[in-house]
């Protein structure tokens, strides 16, 4: 059994705060997410989950952009919650799956990665979920549900028990967040924000 390290505790602690803030539709999800991703990148590198290391680098970059998007930038109102179009959702789903299979193949062929295809599915669908979150689109939570369903057994198999347990909590959080964002969207439809220019 792999002992729990301070790095795993720190990564999960900070990321839990970030995920809970995202569920509450708080802009502070972004800077806390950046810190948590840096911790997770180091943890996943140690566990030879290289697709997840790549994912954390992506998350750091997109969190900075998401932070900017959610605040609206200078002289603009903050981005409202919206729904993604069905065609966009289908395209994102296909791109996430194809990208995951391609990246998994590279990891399988060229590295000593553990579970390269499952790890790459977590990567692919996390990218889709993050892109939707950056746009404040409510369907982000459906993809986070899928990601968590894939990630829990993967992390458990690497004896990252604290991480697997917290991703189970994140799964439940995604259910709550989905309902909360739908309520916010309905309220916003009744009282729309000023249009972005």
Beta bridge partners of 137: 82
Looking at the domain assignment, is residue 138 inside a domain? yes
Looking at the domain assignment, is residue 10 inside a domain? yes
Contact 22, 36 (CB under 8 A): no
Q: Residue holding tokens 């790890």? A: 119
* pLDDT tens profile 61-77: 999 988 888 887 655 55
Helix (H) or strand (E) holding 193: none
Range of the domain at 53: 6-73+93-190
Contact 170, 141 (CB under 8 A): no
Looking at the domain assignment, is residue 1 inside a domain? no
Looking at the domain assignment, is residue 85 inside a domain? no
Residues 135 and 6: their CA atoms lie apart, in Å, by 33
Q: Which of helix, strand or coil describes residue 14?
A: helix
Looking at the domain assignment, is residue 103 inside a domain? yes
**Tokens of residue 6, six digits:** 């301070």
Closest to 178 in 3D by CA, of 147, 130, 137: 137
Q: Which alpha helices (H) appear in the chain, and where do they start and end?
A: 6-23, 29-46, 50-71, 86-110, 116-134, 140-157, 161-190
Q: Which residues of the chain have pLDDT under 50?
A: 195-197
The pLDDT, as a whole number, for residue 70 is 85
The pLDDT, as a whole number, for residue 78 is 67
Q: Number of folded domains in the chain?
A: 1
Looking at the domain assignment, is residue 80 inside a domain? no
Looking at the domain assignment, is residue 87 inside a domain? no
Residues 141 and 131: their CA atoms lie apart, in Å, by 11
The pLDDT, as a whole number, for residue 197 is 37
- Neighbouring residues of 119: CB distance < 8 A, sequence distance ≥ 6: 49, 50, 51, 52, 104, 107, 113, 154
Burial of 189 per CB tally in 10 Å (0-12, 13-18, 19+) = exposed
Looking at the domain assignment, is residue 88 inside a domain? no
Q: Which of helix, strand or coil describes residue 153?
A: helix
Residues 71 and 33: their CA atoms lie apart, in Å, by 16
The pLDDT, as a whole number, for residue 50 is 85
């Amino acid at each position: 059994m792999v002992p729990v390290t301070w790095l795993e505790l720190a990564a999960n602690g900070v990321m839990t705060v970030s995920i809970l803030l995202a569920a509450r539709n708080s802009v502070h999800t972004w800077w806390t997410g950046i810190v948590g991703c840096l911790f997770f990148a180091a943890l996943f590198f140690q566990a030879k989950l290289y697709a997840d290391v790549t994912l954390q680098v992506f998350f750091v970059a997109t969190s900075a952009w998401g932070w900017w998007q959610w605040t609206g930038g200078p002289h603009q109102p903050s981005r409202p919650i919206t729904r993604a179009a069905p065609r966009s959702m289908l395209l994102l789903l296909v791109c996430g799956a194809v990208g995951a299979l391609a990246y998994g193949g590279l990891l399988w062929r060229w590295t000593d990665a553990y579970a390269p295809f499952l790890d790459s599915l977590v990567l692919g669908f996390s990218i889709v979920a993050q892109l939707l979150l950056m746009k404040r689109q409510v369907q982000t939570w459906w993809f986070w549900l899928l990601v968590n369903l894939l990630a829990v057994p993967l992390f458990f198999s690497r004896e990252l028990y604290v991480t697997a347990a917290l991703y189970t909590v994140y799964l439940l959080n995604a259910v709550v967040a989905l309902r909360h964002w739908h309520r916010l969207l309905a309220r916003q439809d009744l009282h729309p924000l000023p249009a972005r220019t």
